[in-house]
């Protein structure tokens, strides 16, 4: 189990470091498929794991002075309550349904990664569109335990006028905050679960180191090939999750 745990953490961390966003979407599938966790425990654990891993990248972004406080404040104020609501809604959904929702999101992300499009940034902050984007990403984070970086980054570029580098850096802060809020929302409610803290700490620790490794080697690799390879991986994992979840309903 320890070997599978370390492998899972390395895959999640390195992919997050290489791509800048989207790697944390593999955390829940890794916990379910490789570590045999049940859906609810995997999603709750993922919220904290993703938050801790993203925090490592966020600290690096802070040191590089890439954070835009005004945008972070707007996005956080809107996404954090939505993340808490998403977590509570997810806790009441029947077993298997959250995994199917996650697999569907993974298929969407795989399509976007395989056929990446150039994003033209906004010239001014579009508050109305930012409200919608922040609320949706926060809700999805809480609902299925993903970081939502593959949604946050385009939103920050399109509606807040950030550069891709700024958007990626600021998304890590928002991922860390949304994951933490959703996690503690579940812990203080009547939906708290018994968690394997050793798994959480090892995966978060190894994943955080792997993020730094991924960031260092990302400059030497072709981003188009990386994204398409990752999209194929997402497709295969999503199909595996759907097959397993459908079986729970039969």
To the nearest 10 degrees (0 to 180), the angle between helices 2-19 and 223-249 is 130
Q: What is the pLDDT of residue 22?
A: 62
Q: Which two tokens stand for residue 142?
A: 């809480």
- Contact yes or no for 203/9 (Cβ under 8 A): yes
Per the structure, the complete domain to which residue 169 belongs is given by 2-249
As a whole number of angstroms, the distance between CA 59 and CA 50 comes to 14
Q: What is the pLDDT of residue 151?
A: 78
As a whole number of angstroms, the distance between CA 5 and CA 161 comes to 38
Q: What is the pLDDT of residue 116?
A: 63
pLDDT < 70 positions in the chain? 20-23, 116-126, 247-250
Q: Which two tokens stand for residue 202?
A: 């090892």
Q: Which residue has the tokens 């981003």?
A: 223
How many independent structural domains does the chain possess? 1
Q: Is 133 helix (H, G, I), strand (E, B) or coil?
A: helix
Contacts of 149 (CB under 8 A, 6+ apart): 16, 20, 21, 22, 23, 24, 54, 168, 171, 172, 175
- Contact yes or no for 100/242 (Cβ under 8 A): yes
Q: What is the pLDDT of residue 47?
A: 92
As a whole number of angstroms, the distance between CA 242 and CA 236 comes to 10
Q: What is the pLDDT of residue 184?
A: 92
pTM: 0.86
């Amino acid at each position: 189990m320890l070997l599978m745990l370390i492998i899972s953490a390395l895959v999640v961390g390195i992919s997050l470091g290489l791509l800048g966003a989207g790697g944390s979407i593999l955390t829940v599938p890794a916990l379910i498929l490789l570590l045999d966790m049940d859906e609810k425990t995997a999603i709750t654990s993922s919220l904290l794991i993703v938050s801790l891993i993203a925090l490592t990248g966020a600290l690096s972004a802070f040191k590089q002075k890439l954070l835009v406080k005004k945008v972070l404040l707007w996005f956080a104020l809107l996404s954090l309550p939505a993340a808490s609501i998403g977590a509570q809604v997810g806790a009441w959904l029947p077993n298997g349904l959250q995994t199917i929702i996650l697999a569907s999101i993974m298929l969407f992300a795989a399509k976007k990664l395989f056929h990446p499009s150039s994003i033209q940034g906004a010239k001014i902050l579009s508050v109305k569109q930012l409200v919608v984007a922040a609320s949706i990403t926060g809700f999805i984070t809480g609902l299925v335990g993903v970081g939502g970086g593959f949604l946050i980054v385009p939103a920050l570029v399109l509606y807040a006028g950030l550069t891709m580098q700024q958007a990626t850096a600021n998304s890590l802060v928002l991922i860390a905050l949304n994951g933490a809020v959703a996690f503690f929302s579940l812990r203080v409610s009547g939906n708290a679960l018994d968690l394997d803290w050793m798994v959480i700490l090892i995966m978060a620790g190894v994943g955080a180191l792997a993020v730094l490794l991924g960031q260092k080697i990302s400059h030497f690799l072709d981003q188009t090939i990386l994204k398409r390879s990752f999209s194929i991986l997402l497709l295969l994992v999503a199909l595996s999750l759907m097959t397993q979840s459908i079986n729970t309903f039969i």
